[in-house]
Structure 1
Amino acid sequence: MSDTQTFHPDGGEDSLASSFATSYAGVLAFLAVASEGSFARAGDRLGIGRSAVSRSVQKLEAQLDARLFLRTTRSISLTREGELFYENCHPGVERIVQALEEMRELRNGPPRGHLRICSTTGFGRAIVAPLLPGFNEAYPDITLELLLNDSPANFTTDRIDVSFRDGRVEDSQVIAKQLIPMQMLVCASPDYARVHGVPRNVSELLAHRCINLRTASGRIAEWEFKVDGHPHKLMPGGHHTFNCPELALQAVHAGQGIAQLAAYQVCEALREGRLIACLTQYAPNDRGHYLCYLSRKQLPARIRVFVDYMTGHIRALDLDCLTALPLDLMLSTKDAR
């Protein structure tokens, strides 16, 4: 035996970790020589010189304390030990090569595989889910799983590939791409406005039947505004409180009160006159709808095309209510409020 360390199952200094680099290079050289039948051709295949191939094989033989090749001036053949070693190594290396090829395909080949997506409940139902059939038609080899959860997704423990988040993203561990601004509008039904009026300024909210939202953390969401250029938060007393934006919207349509809702929920109803908006001049402008993922580097093709598809299609939706509506639309028979 040479002074090259050998691997013993009982550990110690002769561990796999200490001999891995030599073993790995030797196994690759051995397999290349066995396949090519020549040290020179094996070197060409591996992109190294003939002498480097020979040295790697010699170190491997020393580690194994076995001769792997019968060498003559004209030919090279496997010994019985070499044949046994080749039979044991070759399937494992083929699996490694296959895994490498599959990773290259995921990165550079046609998009395929499984996508696990998380979204807030309201945005997921109203915006994300309706776009998925079109994405599936464009990329039929990608399977999709959509999870609705108003709590921020944990990309690692929940095995999430892409997450849609609302509001503000302060997680420095993720890439957060703003899809569209998140416009928050105080809305009422025309019937409510005719009976109760609508607030002309933020302080008048306290006199109205307000519908509050309870967040995933269990707290009541504050109503957010921008007054005189500064953020302003308010917690009006709740005539009704829901933990689902869709239920809050239904209550507003039913004339049970007013609520601050995201524009994607109410744009169509506002344009059709089924709802009216008020306090739009105080709407906050520092929130957004975000598409989040873990890294810009080595992004699999299935995630790249999903990010591009959703970004383009969501931005193409007509969800900008503030530029399409009057600053303050009021249908009130109680202007003195």
Structure 2
Amino acid sequence: MSRQLPSIELLQAFLTVAKTGNFGKAGEQLNLSQSAVSRQVAQLEARLDSRLFERHTRRIVLTAEGRSLVPVAEQVIGLLCDASHMLATVGRSFSLRAHPTMAARWLIPRLTTFYGMHPQVNVSVDTVYHRFPDFAFESIDAMVAYGTATWPDFEALQLWEEELIPVCSPALLAGTTPQELLKSARLVDSSMDRLDWRRWAEYYPDSTGIDNAHLTFDTLESAIVAVKCGQGIALVDAVLTDDELRSGQLVRVHSGRIVTGGRYTLVYPRRVKHSSGFSEFLEWLGQEAGLDAART
């Protein structure tokens, strides 16, 4: 059957002649001579054993067989064009899994810059963070992991190491001093174990009061929102709250900081490192992380 199928060049020549109604105009569109187009149509007619055009002195007219072939040729050529485009863009799209807070506060706002530099690359962001992906079976190409783990079986790009600083809203600080506020204000926790404020008490004893109330959440994002609403003081990642600190929506209430040992790291299988699209993203992400490290 494969020997009987006409080539795409013959179908394209036929369709162009059918639409222009002229061998010469079809040749101009196809960058071929009039005689070359005529020969291609004749070859298609021979292959299909059907007459596709009635040839008159001044014009050509589609036969009934030719008219029935037009939509078929359009569909075949259209499908081939779609497939060609799909293959051309393979590797220009990739999926990334990231922590919801990190994605919302750091990654997604910066993607505007990335798309401005690489408009042909598409990034899908997955925030199902509770599970490390199985790169062999899931449609995830990379993950921004948080923690102290190392990744000997994967490529890894460290973005930044977490440093926690105490912040509050300017309104909460009005009329008092940072020292007085730390002694009396509600301490906002971003994890149910209240680990960060217990660490703070070890590093900076007597900086807080002996009976501060606590407001506890299970995510950093919730804690940041609560603090911006004036509900207390939270220990927050300096990088993830850089915009609020620079704009004055949050203010720092102590010069101390806690280096938790936690790191935000881009982890990915070696096979995707040089793939088109991801390689551009990898270079850009490293530059963005470097700029943040220098600023903070």
Q: How does 1:12-51 map to 2 (within 5 A)?
A: none
Show the counterpart of 2:96. 117
* CA RMSD, 1 decimal: 3.7
Sequence identity percentage: 18
State the SS of the aligned residue for 1:286: strand
2:123 is aligned, of 127, 133, 144, to: 144
Q: TM-score, normalised by structure 1?
A: 0.49
1:191 is aligned, of 146, 171, 178, to: 171
Cα deviation, 1:210-232, whole Å, max 9, x if unaligned, reads 11223xxxx53520459679xxx
Which amino acid is the alignment partner of residue 162 of structure 1? A
1:295 shift after superposition: 2.1
CA contact (8 A) 1:112 1:139 kept: no
Which amino acid is the alignment partner of residue 286 of structure 2? T
CA contact (8 A) 2:273 2:279 kept: no
Show the counterpart of 1:154. 133
Q: Distance in 2 between matches of 1:120 and 1:238?
A: 28
Q: Does 1:210 align with 2:187?
A: yes
Larger helix proportion, structure 1 or 2? 2
Show the counterpart of 1:53. none
Instruction: Label 1:149 to 1:213 Cα distance change in 2 as closer, same or farther (>3 A).
Output: farther
Show the counterpart of 2:143. 163
State the SS of the aligned residue for 1:265: coil
Q: Distance in 2 between matches of 1:244 and 1:297?
A: 31
Q: How many residues align?
A: 202
State the SS of the aligned residue for 1:173: coil
Which amino acid is the alignment partner of residue 249 of structure 1? I
Cα deviation, 1:296-315, whole Å, max 9, x if unaligned, reads 78642332221111111232
Q: Distance in 1 between matches of 2:212 and 2:271?
A: 44
Q: Distance in 1 between matches of 2:272 and 2:226?
A: 45
Which amino acid is the alignment partner of residue 210 of structure 1? L
CA contact (8 A) 1:127 1:314 kept: no
Which amino acid is the alignment partner of residue 126 of structure 2? L
Show the counterpart of 1:246. 221
Show the counterpart of 1:132. 111
Instruction: Label 1:134 to 1:198 Cα distance change in 2 as closer, same or farther (>3 A).
Output: closer
Q: How does 1:286-297 map to 2 (within 5 A)?
A: 286-295=261-270
2:193 is aligned, of 220, 231, 247, to: 220
Gap runs ≥5 in structure 1: 1-101, 230-235, 322-337
Q: Distance in 1 between matches of 2:133 and 2:194?
A: 22
CA contact (8 A) 1:263 1:319 kept: no
State the SS of the aligned residue for 2:101: helix
Show the counterpart of 2:156. 176
Q: TM-score, normalised by structure 2?
A: 0.55
Q: Distance in 2 between matches of 1:111 and 1:308?
A: 19
Q: Does 1:310 align with 2:285?
A: yes
State the SS of the aligned residue for 1:163: strand
Show the counterpart of 1:257. 232
CA contact (8 A) 1:226 1:282 kept: no
CA contact (8 A) 2:165 2:256 kept: no
State the SS of the aligned residue for 1:287: strand
Cα deviation, 1:19-67, whole Å, max 9, x if unaligned, reads xxxxxxxxxxxxxxxxxxxxxxxxxxxxxxxxxxxxxxxxxxxxxxxxx
1:208 shift after superposition: 4.2
Q: Distance in 2 between matches of 1:298 and 1:171?
A: 15
Show the counterpart of 1:49. none
Which amino acid is the alignment partner of residue 270 of structure 1? L
Show the counterpart of 1:281. 256
